[in-house]
Amino acid sequence: STTMQDDIINIKGGKQLAEHERHTS
């Protein structure tokens, strides 16, 4: 379950970074 939680966090973090980069550029 730890790996699953890490994957979810990574996915959420990736989405946030992608959105942030979109707004920045």
- Summarised one tens digit per residue, pLDDT across range 1-25 is 578 999 999 999 888 888 878 877 6
User: Side-chain half-sphere of 4: how many Cα atoms within 13 Å?
Assistant: 1
Gap between the Cα atoms of 17 and 22, Å rounded: 8
User: Side-chain half-sphere of 11: how many Cα atoms within 13 Å?
Assistant: 6
pLDDT for 22: 80
Residue with tokens 């699953």: 4
DSSP 2: H
Distance of CA 1 to the CA centre of its chain: 18
Give this prediction's pTM: 0.45
